[in-house]
Amino acid sequence: MPDAPLPVRNGLNPTRLRMPDDGAWSTILEYLVARFPNDEIRLREKVAAEEVVEERGLPITESTRFTPRKFVYLYRDPPVESRVPFEIEILHRDENLVVIDKPHFLASTPRGAYVAESALVRLRRLLDLPELTPAHRLDRLTAGVLIFTVRPEVRRSYQSLFDQKKVTKDYEALARYDPALELPATVRSRIIKERGILKAYEVDGPANSESRIELVEVRGDSARYRLRPHTGKTHQLRVHMSSLGIPIYGDNFYPDFYDVDAQDYSTPLQLLALSVEFQDPYSGARRRFTSKRCLDWPT
């Protein structure tokens, strides 16, 4: 994807919109209003303020003709958000990386109703690092180690480590203890996640996901497990724990979905990204970052 012609503003990237392949709109503004009718007033204000630009950074006007497949960029007004009442702890910072201990309930990056209330936007604002970019992601409900790159020049090198599975990631989870389970075990299955459907699910077919599950500690009817994913499918660890009959405590998706109010922070998912380890592509040193957080055993 080409670099946006608008800079990061207040921690937020501009939105990139592609014009359809065809249509009856005579101008770009006419198309934008048709697509976002509830935002018509603000769209017209943004165009008048020269805040909607095309690929070369030139502002569009009310009369700029609609062109199929053309890209435009603009800043969308973020939703009104309640603050997620948990703080980010910075584990490490240098010229290339910022490593944090993400709390439960905080999104990694802007998405849906969580825009300013995401780790990325909070950190960009707090540290005055507009080019900060995630090297990988964690689910909003998962806590633990999350790595960001500081400079665009190093971004691809660190992201490639995750893409090429050159990173060792260990997780911990709390769930029911089942003495009949033979652990450690490697779970392999085919996981599908469809756009617009909240849950991922397993289907027949060649495996595209793999997780190593180990029993670490038992306390009564509960246990602490060490999880090591060898692939990175959406909700993979949650799906695999559920498929073993030991869904993670606090998981409102697996095995069965139940609704939880967005501001109900009483029952966090007991899943922690415990550590991340890799060989640094610049120094060559072996680096390991470990969460300081602990999961909450049931009482």
**CA-to-CA distance for 68 and 88, rounded, in angstroms?**
43
**What order of strands is seen across the sheet that includes strand 71-74?**
15-18, 71-74, 53-54
Decide if 210 contacts 231 (C-beta within 8 A): yes
Segment 195-217, tens digit of pLDDT: 889 899 999 999 999 999 999 99
Give the pTM: 0.91
Decide if 294 contacts 268 (C-beta within 8 A): no
The number of CA neighbours under 13 Å toward the Cβ of 39 is 18
- Quick one: pLDDT at residue 128? 96
- Quick one: pLDDT at residue 80? 87
- Quick one: pLDDT at residue 235? 97
Three-state secondary structure readout of 200-214: CEEECCCCCEEEEEE
Segment 34-75, tens digit of pLDDT: 999 999 999 999 999 999 999 999 999 999 999 999 999 999
- Quick one: pLDDT at residue 218? 98
- Quick one: pLDDT at residue 1? 57
**CA-to-CA distance for 279 and 296, rounded, in angstroms?**
32
Q: One-letter amino acid identity for 84?
A: V
Terminal CA-to-CA distance of the chain, rounded, Å?
A: 49
Q: One-letter amino acid identity for 248?
A: I
Which among 96, 109, 107 has a CA at the least distance from the CA of 156? 96
Question: Dihedral of CA 69/73/74/76: which sign?
Answer: positive
Q: One-letter amino acid identity for 146?
A: L
**CA-to-CA distance for 236 and 227, rounded, in angstroms?**
11
- Quick one: pLDDT at residue 2? 63
**CA-to-CA distance for 188 and 227, rounded, in angstroms?**
13
Which stretches of the chain drop beneath a pLDDT of 50?
Answer: none
- Quick one: pLDDT at residue 196? 87
